[in-house]
Amino acid sequence: MKLANQIGTKRKWVLEEDVAFVSCMVNLHNVGTFNADTRFNASYLNELERMLEKVLPHAILKAKPNLNSRIRTLKRDWAIVYDILSGKDNSDFGSDEHRQFVVVKDAFPLL
């Protein structure tokens, strides 16, 4: 099992950790114990830390700063993808639903 690299104070996440992280977040949401309106309540990070400790015991992921920082990063990345696919400020990017990938208009049409 490959674990993330720690460079100074910056942590580099690997795919296995991201998959476990998102899976635990979905499970936490589905259970509903930590839901508050459209967000999680304040104690969810500690529960998420406990869940990930069971799945990735050697990763040593802490609620703060690791999980909190990863949530911010994933939110930022998702907002970029959402804007591209929804047409908002997309600079001619879009999606091909049939082929299921991102498309872009040619900036320089072929002569």
Residues 98-107: tens digit of each pLDDT: 887 777 776 6
Residues 20-36: tens digit of each pLDDT: 999 998 998 888 877 76
- Global pTM value: 0.67
| Residue 68 CA: distances (Å) to CA of 21, 31, 39, 42, 86 | 11, 20, 14, 11, 27
Alpha-carbon distance 51 to 65, whole Å? 16
**Which residue ranges make up each domain of the chain?**
15-72
